[in-house]
Amino acid sequence: MSEVKLTCIVCPNGCELVAEKCGDGSVKVAGNLCPKGVKFATDELVRPLRTFTGTAATAFPDFPVIAVKTDREVPKEEILRIAEYVNSLCLTKRCSPGDVIVKDVLGLGADLVVTADMN
Ligand code: SF4
């Protein structure tokens, strides 16, 4: 496999990494100033994860949409599916930051939580 250039986003140093997946499944990483860069690059090449953030509609005219996010990272390739699911929601109960509105969203092991205060 060819080399992939990545910027490590784990800390403000923003190391420019060069990563390559080897035939045995391991990932060779260069340019990292610390071991966290190896884990970041390996995760990006093997199974990239992201936290979903977006907005959900509500039934309240004074608060028509509210910010939501997953409470943990989920596979990057599932972000669009979560967005489509969130677009189908309409909250009918007022929420506060941290309230869980969907447990185990789409069976991905993450809860969907509210990050704003409607009260
Ligand atoms: S490799 Fe280490 S030092 Fe460099 S950006 Fe990532 S976490 Fe920071």
Boundaries of domain holding 26: 4-46
What's the confidence (pLDDT) of residue 1?
Answer: 60
What's the confidence (pLDDT) of residue 67?
Answer: 97
Q: Any residues with CB less than 8 A from the CB of 100 and at least 6 apart, and which?
A: 71, 111, 112, 113
Verify that 63 and 31 share a domain, yes or no.
no
Say if 81 falls within a structural domain: yes
Picking from 58, 26, 50, the residue whose alpha carbon sits closest to that of residue 39 is 26
* Burial grade of 60 (CB within 10 A; 0-12, 13-18, 19 or more): middle
Mean pLDDT of 45-72: 96
Q: Is the pLDDT of residue 55 over 70?
A: yes
Ligand 1 probe mutation, 6, 7, 8, most atoms within 8 A of CB: 8
Ligand 1 probe mutation, 29, 36, 39, 40, most atoms within 8 A of CB: 36
Verify that 70 and 27 share a domain, yes or no.
no
Quick one: tokens of 94?
């007022």
Q: Could you read off the pLDDT of 79-117 as tens digits, one per residue?
A: 999 999 999 999 999 999 999 999 999 999 999 999 999
Longest CA span, the chain:
56
Q: Which residues line ligand 1 (CB under 6 A)?
A: 8, 10-11, 13-15, 32-34, 36-37, 40
Verify that 108 and 79 share a domain, yes or no.
yes
CATH code, 68: 3.10.530.10
Say if 119 falls within a structural domain: no
Verify that 81 and 97 share a domain, yes or no.
yes
Mean pLDDT of 53-74: 97
